[in-house]
């Protein structure tokens, strides 16, 4: 487990991220406050998570069901919790009641499983789209997205689609992956009109530590920030969602 930087260091880096997000919103004429910064909690041991609230973190994303349970049992009320990792169907019963949003739904069978495991108010989800076509990444292709929307609509409110998520390839220059974010936005815009009676599809979870500013410029509403808050000053990103 990576040892975090000091609380003051994390606070300063988080403030810098939020300043960069605000600047990207201004550059593209978007309204202030239109993007939430999600911090990936996988880099923190349970005893370290509590310090994140003290430095201004309010939204955590967890990658593993077991870690979600452990950390939420200790600090459940301190944060809003999302699930950002690949979700196995057998873990849906653990995750669904514990989070306000699942970012990584990528199959009809998972939609159906979540519908059966959702708490009384249902569960809100994003559909993961593999825009780049990389075999190493989860997510559906563009032409499969409507099947997921149809499956969610058939649950009669048990599974509510809020939008889409994608993971861009890891590159040195974030401009090289701008097309990924622009494509996800275009997919959302194309589907939004016809699906608005069922789902608002307002959320785009895209952009990580190395490319979040470009993602914001292309319409992201949630950016997923990982190790850059606790290691050095350079952008470091893993390939699993943060």
Looking at per-residue pLDDT, the higher value among 107 and 236 belongs to: 107
pLDDT at 144 over 90: yes
- Alpha-carbon distance 209 to 230, whole Å? 11
CA distances to 99, 127, 210 from 27, rounded to whole Å, are 32, 28, 18
Looking at per-residue pLDDT, the higher value among 11 and 7 belongs to: 11
Residue 242 belongs to a domain: no
pLDDT (average), residues 150-177: 96
pLDDT at 34 over 60: yes
What pLDDT does 9 receive? 85
Residue 20 belongs to a domain: yes
Is the dihedral angle over the CA atoms 64, 131, 167, 27 positive or is it negative? negative
pLDDT at 231 over 70: no
Residue 1 belongs to a domain: no
- B/e letters for 219-238, b = 16+ CB within 10 Å, e = fewer, are bbbbbbbbbbbbbeeebebb
Structural domains counted in the chain? 1
- Alpha-carbon distance 104 to 114, whole Å? 12
CATH code (residue 130)? 3.20.20.10
Determine contact, residues 79/53, Cβ cutoff 8 Å: yes
Lowest mean pLDDT among 16-20, 98-102, 229-233: 229-233
What pLDDT does 46 receive? 81
Is the dihedral angle over the CA atoms 180, 214, 238, 110 positive or is it negative? negative
- 160: domain range? 7-229
Structure tokens given for 46:
């349970």
Looking at per-residue pLDDT, the higher value among 220 and 134 belongs to: 220
- Alpha-carbon distance 17 to 11, whole Å? 10
What pLDDT does 238 receive? 43
The string of pLDDT tens digits covering residues 35-84 is 999 999 988 888 778 888 888 999 999 999 999 999 999 998 999 999 99
CA distances to 49, 160, 205 from 36, rounded to whole Å, are 19, 20, 9
Across-strand partners of 40?
A: 61
Share of the chain above pLDDT 90, in %: 76
Residue 186 belongs to a domain: yes
pLDDT at 170 over 70: yes
pLDDT at 128 over 50: yes
Residue 23 belongs to a domain: yes
pLDDT at 179 over 70: yes
Instruction: Name the band, by pLDDT with cuts 50, 70 and 90, for residue 235.
Output: very low
pLDDT at 236 over 70: no
What pLDDT does 136 receive? 82
- Alpha-carbon distance 43 to 1, whole Å? 7
Share of the chain above pLDDT 70, in %: 93
Residue 118 belongs to a domain: yes
Instruction: Name the band, by pLDDT with cuts 50, 70 and 90, for residue 7.
Output: confident
Residue 238 belongs to a domain: no
């Amino acid at each position: 487990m990576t040892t975090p930087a000091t609380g003051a260091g994390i606070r300063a880096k988080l403030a810098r991220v939020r300043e960069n997000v605000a600047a990207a919103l201004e550059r593209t004429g978007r309204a202030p406050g239109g993007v939430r910064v999600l911090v990936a909690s996988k880099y923190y041991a349970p005893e370290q998570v509590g310090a994140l609230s003290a430095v201004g973190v309010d939204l955590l994303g967890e990658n593993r069901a077991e870690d979600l349970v452990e950390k939420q049992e200790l600090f459940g009320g301190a944060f809003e919790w999302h699930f950002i990792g690949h979700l196995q169907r057998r873990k849906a019963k653990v995750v669904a009641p514990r989070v306000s949003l699942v970012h990584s739904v990528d199959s009809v069978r998972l939609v159906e499983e979540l519908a059966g495991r959702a708490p009384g108010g249902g569960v809100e989800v994003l559909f993961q789209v593999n825009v780049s076509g990389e075999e190493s990444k989860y997510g559906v292709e563009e032409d499969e997205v409507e099947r997921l929307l149809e499956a969610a609509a058939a649950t009669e409110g048990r599974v509510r689609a809020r939008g889409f998520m994608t993971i861009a390839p890891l590159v040195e220059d974030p401009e090289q992956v701008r097309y990924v974010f622009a494509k996800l936005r275009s997919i959302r815009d194309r589907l939004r009109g016809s699906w608005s009676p069922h789902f608002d599809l307002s959320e785009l979870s895209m952009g990580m530590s190395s490319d979040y500013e470009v993602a914001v410029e292309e319409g992201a509403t949630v950016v997923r920030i990982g190790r850059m808050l606790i290691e050095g000053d350079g952008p470091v990103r893993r390939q699993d969602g943060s």
